[in-house]
Amino acid sequence: MSVADAQLSVAMTWIRRGFPVIPCSRTDKGALVPGFGKSATAEQLAPFADPEQVSRWWSSGRFARAHVGLLTGRGGVDGRGLVVVDLDMPKPDAEPLTGRWAGCAGGTDVFELLMRETGADWPDTYTVLTPSGGMHLYYQQPGDGDLIGCATGEGPRAPHIGPLVDVRGIGGYVIAAGSYSAAQGRPYTRVSAPELLPQPLPAWLLALLRPAVAPVAARRPAPVRQLPTGDRAERYATAALNGELDKVGSAAEGERNRALYAAARRLAELAPTAPAILSEATTQDALLDSAREAGVSEQEALRTIRSGWNAGSRTTMGGAA
C-alpha cells in the first residue's frame, strides 16, 4: 500500500467513526486547510467531515502524503468530539523540572503525579505513542456542551494542568495514529486495544481541566493587618496584601484564577521589601482563604498560588546585578 493510500485509509476510518479530519504537513504538522478554529461555524466545519471532500484531499497531488489530523472539540458519532491530553517529552536542552514537579522526566510523569494526588488509577482509553516518545490520550468531550479548550504546558487557568502536558480541545487538532513523521523517522502508533475507542473523561481529570466552582459563601471582610510601628515598606506591603486579597475576592467568575495568579506573583515580587509582612507561608495562606471564599477549589487555588509565587520570585531574583 502506498503512503497516500495508507493516509487516506486512516482518514476514512475516522470519518466513519464520525470525527472530522484535516490534512497536515508531514514535516512541521501544520494544518494545510484553514477554517477549523475555535469560532468556526458548522458550515465552515462541514468539509472536514465530508467523505467526498476528504477523499479528494488525500487523492490529490498536494495532500496525498499529508498527515491525517483529527479535529478536536466537535464531532463524534454521538455529537461528542475529542479532547486529547498530549504528554510531551522535554527538549534536549531543557532544564530539569523543579518544585512540585521535581523528578518528572516527561509529561507522562507529570500526569501520573496528578493522578496519584487524587488517588486515581491510570485511565484506560484510546492511546497513541508519538514519534518523539510522548503519548496522546484520547477522551470524549463532556456531554453537557461546555467544551474543553486548548492549553500548552503549565499556566494559571484550566485547562492548563502541568508542564509538558498539552491539551487539545475545541479549535485544535492532533496527528492520527498511522501517520509517519518524516522529521523523526517514526510513526504515530496506537498502543491501546483495537476495540477501545476514546472514553469519557475521568472525573478527577475533568475537575482539573474544568474545575467545578464551589458555592460562593458570604464574604467576610479581609482582615486588615495593624502595624503601628511598621516602617514605610511594611505599611506599603500591608496595603498591597489587602488590596490583592480584595481583588481575588471580588473577581468575576471566569477571572478568579487569573486574579489569584496575578496577586501571588505581585506579592512575591514585593516580599523581599517587607519579609515580616509578606512571608511565603503567611501570604499564601491569606490568598488561599480569599480564593476559597470566592469559590475557587482548594486544589486549584493552591496550584495557581504556587505558580504565581514562583513566577514572582523568579522576577525578583532576575534583577540587575
pLDDT tens per residue across span 209-223: 986 554 444 444 445
User: pLDDT per residue over 179-212, tens digit each?
Assistant: 876 666 788 999 999 899 999 999 999 989 986 5
Identify which of 269, 217, 214, 212 has the alpha carbon closest to the alpha carbon of residue 244: 269
Count the neighbouring beta carbons within 10 Å of the beta carbon of residue 212.
Answer: 10
The pLDDT of residue 299: 82
Q: What sign does the CA torsion over 153, 155, 161, 163 have?
A: positive
Q: DSSP letter for 31, please.
A: B
Who contacts 30 (Cβ-Cβ below 8 Å, separation ≥6)? 24
At 147, give phi and psi (nearest 5°).
-75, 145
The pLDDT of residue 224: 46
Could you give the CA distance from residue 288 to residue 224 in angstroms, rounded to a whole number? 16
Under-50 pLDDT residues of the chain: 214-222, 224-229, 317-321
Could you give the CA distance from residue 107 to residue 167 in angstroms, rounded to a whole number? 11
Report the DSSP beta bridge partners of residue 233.
none
67-71/173-175 β-pairing = antiparallel
The pLDDT of residue 278: 86
The pLDDT of residue 149: 92
- The verdict on pTM exceeding 0.85 is no
Q: Is the peptide bond before 142 cis (omega within 30 degrees of 0)?
A: no
Could you give the CA distance from residue 246 to residue 263 in angstroms, rounded to a whole number? 10
Identify which of 122, 125, 161, 155 has the alpha carbon closest to the alpha carbon of residue 140: 125
- Residue 91, judged by CB atoms within 10 A of its CB (0-12, 13-18, 19+), counts as exposed
The pLDDT of residue 78: 64
Report the DSSP beta bridge partners of residue 70.
21, 174
